[in-house]
Structure 1
């Protein structure tokens, strides 16, 4: 018993020493951790790919009664075909759209300013009520800021697309590692369970394993469903913008599809750059784009989303909004997405704990 107390004291002293060194050398520790994480980036990529494709591998195994090797081969052939399609046809068009938009930005701002001057500033009816003077005061500053923010956003997007090619080696290594992760996923899971049971007591180990099992179930279904939902919305948006003859239709559809991954706020976040991009070329058309994307979002919210996702997270709108605010404030855009399934599992675990305590 005394030996165990001395062990606990030494462990506490070691933790205090590590914490003190961390605070005393924060920048050095931060640089070291950042370098270490960059070395592990292929494993993070591998885990993300394996987790994303796990459901498809399980589907082919269960549906067609094939072994693991055939299932993985089929899934990766589809995966590589999809990636090849994106880099061959979609990525060059997106980069070209961004380049054209950046180069034409001064002209678009000037044309839009002329349109506002013609139809709003010089409108006699609006001038009669004193509206035009206020519009004329704020128009120049507004479009200057819109131009700056849009140019910054597009440059960041272009840098992000270019950076994908610079990290191709890590992605390639990650893809190779992900194949082995999927092949031996049961062994990895069994090893993780053994480690948890070895480090924790039986009661706590059971609770931790139950929590992560539920988190995996909710998150995987939510991720796959949301990806499929956003892909369909992006395709429908592209078709609708082509019908409306909107310029940069593929770029706008990509933005709408990606932001649609964020629950509740995502569709409205995607609408803003879509309307601004169209506003530069044709203000009237921008109004139609706003109406179309809003109608598309309503279709997704009330019909398509529930059909695909169902009640995967079991959260009320208040809980979802709270999760998005906390996740976005802590981890940015990625946090806005992952916070929802995590909060859903935490809420279920808390409810189970409360029910168990009340039953006692």
Structure 2
């Protein structure tokens, strides 16, 4: 009997070890299969994401204006379609033209910069005096060559992005259509989800699962919706200011500032650098004014607009927010930087609840 148990144990261990070996040996095929499945499910993922983002607006229409579900969904998606049409008829063409113009003018910018360095630095008396003109010329040629290679990389990335965006855009469109049905029957989806979880997990674990899901929903929905509204307002103010200051590429600058503003703390700095560089080669004085304007705009957002819209949605100190952004950015890039804050907020709440429970069981009070 004991021998049979040992045989079963060793057989199980060997089977698990073999399965793990095959998984490690076939990681490339596994990732390829997972990528294929994700691409198939992409429209449904977008559908749930869109429905999740639009749900607060639908609840507002139903509660404040006493509209029924059909009217709320109809109004909501009319606005969504209107925004998409405005974006692709007004904003998108200007942004594409700006990017095309910048890419085409980069060689000219490089040549202008090289000529300026040649005239004002390499040919200067002090450069000859200290015999550094040959050194500067040598490094300048190397920098120009690297800049040319960098330009080719950028062009390839733009082409690849355009190709990838086309397929993603169709997935988003299909997702928006599917999200209509999700929102229209959200109670049915919620009821079926509860039936599924409770049937497999039981009452106690099911309650714990939905309690956790409710907390995640509370943190994520408030943060994401609040940050989106905040960044949209900042982007529109930036567009108005850039147009008033007669900045070149105003729509592109506003889009960069608005999108990067979604990232807490680091977003404003990420957005201000490319925006100023874009204008710098065109007009250095305007670039300085743009720098000052965006700096003032970000201070307004950080001190007035942001706290007004977001409040203390995540309940985390700046130290933990910065740590979360760095870790999230290292793992998932820009998307990770954005999602890191609400994710860490949920983890922090769970840890605090666990520690409070343990301290209470051990009758320990910490002031």
> What TM-score range do you get, normalising by the shorter chain?
0.7 to 0.9
- Cα shift at 1:21: 3.2
Indicate how the Cα distance of structure 1 residues 245 and 148 shifts in structure 2: closer, same or farther if over 3 A, else same: farther
| CA distance in 1 between partners of 2:244 and 2:152 (Å) | 27
| CA distance in 2 between partners of 1:133 and 1:109 (Å) | 19
| CA distance in 2 between partners of 1:154 and 1:257 (Å) | 24
| CA distance in 1 between partners of 2:81 and 2:264 (Å) | 28
**Residue range with higher mean Cα deviation, 312-321 or 148-157:** 148-157
Report the equivalent of 2:102.
101
- Cα shift at 1:300: 1.0
- Cα shift at 1:311: 0.8
Report the equivalent of 2:177.
176
**Residue range with higher mean Cα deviation, 241-250 or 150-159:** 150-159
| CA distance in 2 between partners of 1:148 and 1:278 (Å) | 22
**Residue range with higher mean Cα deviation, 134-143 or 94-103:** 134-143
TM-score for the superposition, normalised by structure 1: 0.86
How does 1:81-160 map onto structure 2 within 5 Å?
A: 81-115=82-116, 145=146, 149=150, 152-153=153-154, 156-157=157-158, 159-160=160-161
TM-score for the superposition, normalised by structure 2: 0.85
Q: Is residue 2:343 matched to residue 1:342?
A: yes
| CA distance in 2 between partners of 1:65 and 1:17 (Å) | 61
**Residue range with higher mean Cα deviation, 168-177 or 273-282:** 168-177
| CA distance in 2 between partners of 1:129 and 1:52 (Å) | 63
SS, match of residue 335 in structure 1: helix
| CA distance in 2 between partners of 1:170 and 1:274 (Å) | 30
Report the equivalent of 2:25.
24
SS, match of residue 263 in structure 1: coil
Report the equivalent of 1:187.
188
How does 1:1-360 map onto structure 2 within 5 Å?
A: 18-115=19-116, 145=146, 149=150, 152-153=153-154, 156-157=157-158, 159-161=160-162, 163-200=164-201, 202-360=203-361
**Residue range with higher mean Cα deviation, 282-291 or 147-156:** 147-156
| CA distance in 2 between partners of 1:14 and 1:307 (Å) | 58
| CA distance in 2 between partners of 1:291 and 1:233 (Å) | 15
Kindly name which structure, 1 or 2, has the bigger radius of gyration based on alpha carbons: 2
SS, match of residue 263 in structure 2: coil
| CA distance in 2 between partners of 1:47 and 1:26 (Å) | 29
| CA distance in 1 between partners of 2:152 and 2:241 (Å) | 25
- How many residue pairs were aligned? 354
| CA distance in 2 between partners of 1:205 and 1:120 (Å) | 72
Structure 1 contact 47–181 (Cα < 8 Å) conserved: yes
| CA distance in 2 between partners of 1:53 and 1:222 (Å) | 14
Ranges in structure 2 where 5+ consecutive residues have no aligned partner: 362-367
| CA distance in 2 between partners of 1:266 and 1:304 (Å) | 15
Report the equivalent of 2:364.
none
Indicate how the Cα distance of structure 1 residues 15 and 196 shifts in structure 2: closer, same or farther if over 3 A, else same: farther
**Residue range with higher mean Cα deviation, 33-42 or 147-156:** 147-156
Measured on the aligned residues, the alpha-carbon RMSD in Å equals 3.1
Indicate how the Cα distance of structure 1 residues 232 and 123 shifts in structure 2: closer, same or farther if over 3 A, else same: farther
Ranges in structure 1 where 5+ consecutive residues have no aligned partner: none
| CA distance in 2 between partners of 1:146 and 1:41 (Å) | 37
Indicate how the Cα distance of structure 1 residues 349 and 117 shifts in structure 2: closer, same or farther if over 3 A, else same: same
| CA distance in 1 between partners of 2:247 and 2:294 (Å) | 12
